[in-house]
Structure 1
Amino acid sequence: MLYIIGAVTVDTFPFSAEQVERSYSATWAEKAVMGRMPPSEFMGEGPESLSLSGKLLPFKLGGMTQLEALKSYMSAGTVVPVMRGDGARLGNFAVTAISESHDHLQKNGVGFVVSYRLSLKKMAGSGVGSLLTVEGLLSLFSSL
């Protein structure tokens, strides 16, 4: 397992990732003073983002069900917990953008190779992640 995003497991198949980017920031407030450089005060952790990209082979390995589940998180504004494969809990994230590109279209309009990119933004802890994960798991089983 590479990552878990809510109820979606990112692994080597059927839903794989080839690249992960993560950015962090801190927030500082400047105080205006005359005649010298303004002093700054640390305000805390700033925005954090995570993006994953990869390629799916829906006709060989699948992966479109997981992509649809992530789209439903985005459409509903669902905040879900994210965990890395080594067990590190990264926090609660919202899926903010998904892009996909289909190559070698098959007769149903789906590409033989589907490239995707997910963008996630860290949200303040709300404590609802575990409940939403259970709902997400149930929705995955109902789609089968």
Structure 2
Amino acid sequence: MLYQVGPLAFDTFPFSVNAIDRQDAEDYAKHDLLNTRRAYEHEGAGDDCLALSGEFVPYHVGGLSDLELARSLKASGQPQFVMRGDGYPLGWFVIVSVGEKHAELISPEGVGYVVKHEVKLENCGEPGEAAGSGLIATLLSLFG
């Protein structure tokens, strides 16, 4: 497993990730002062955005069902716990967009032989107690 987003696993196949882009920021309030530089007041964590992109070959190893799972998680609007493959927890994120690009001679069914995807997420902080029970159920389902 390369990344785990709730019940959605990004692995080497069928639904792989070959590029990760993470941008996080801190927020500051700027205060104008006379005869000196502006003062910056730290306000806390800013936006934390994560983009996972890759490609899969649906006619050889599958992956379309994983793409649809990403879309259903996005449509649910529920925060998903994100964990890196080495077990490092990144926190709770919502999926804000799912993109796909079909290439390499589109099949008669309208599906490309190579499908490139990008899943964009934004950190939403702690979702509360109700999400914790869902996370435990999701993790247990991975092992049994």
**Could you tell me the TM-score, scaled by structure 1's length?**
0.87
Aligned residue pairs, count: 137
Instruction: Determine what percentage of the aligned residue pairs are the same residue.
Output: 35
Partner of 1:117: 118
Structure 1: which 5+ residue stretches go unaligned? 139-144
Distance in 1 of aligned mates of 2:83 and 2:52: 13
Structure 2: which 5+ residue stretches go unaligned? none
**Could you tell me the TM-score, scaled by structure 2's length?**
0.87
- Structure 1 residue ranges, 4+ long, deviating more than 6 angstroms after superposition: none
List per-residue Cα deviations over 1:3-30 (Å, max 9, x = no partner).
0011011000111011111111111112
Distance in 1 of aligned mates of 2:69 and 2:2: 17
Give runs of aligned pairs for residues 1-144 of structure 1, distance below 5 A: 1-103=1-103, 104-127=105-128, 128=131, 130-131=133-134, 134=137
Partner of 1:141: none
List per-residue Cα deviations over 1:108-141 (Å, max 9, x = no partner).
1111110111111111211315516747x98xxx
Distance in 2 of aligned mates of 1:42 and 1:16: 38
Distance in 1 of aligned mates of 2:120 and 2:22: 10
SS class of match (2:126): coil
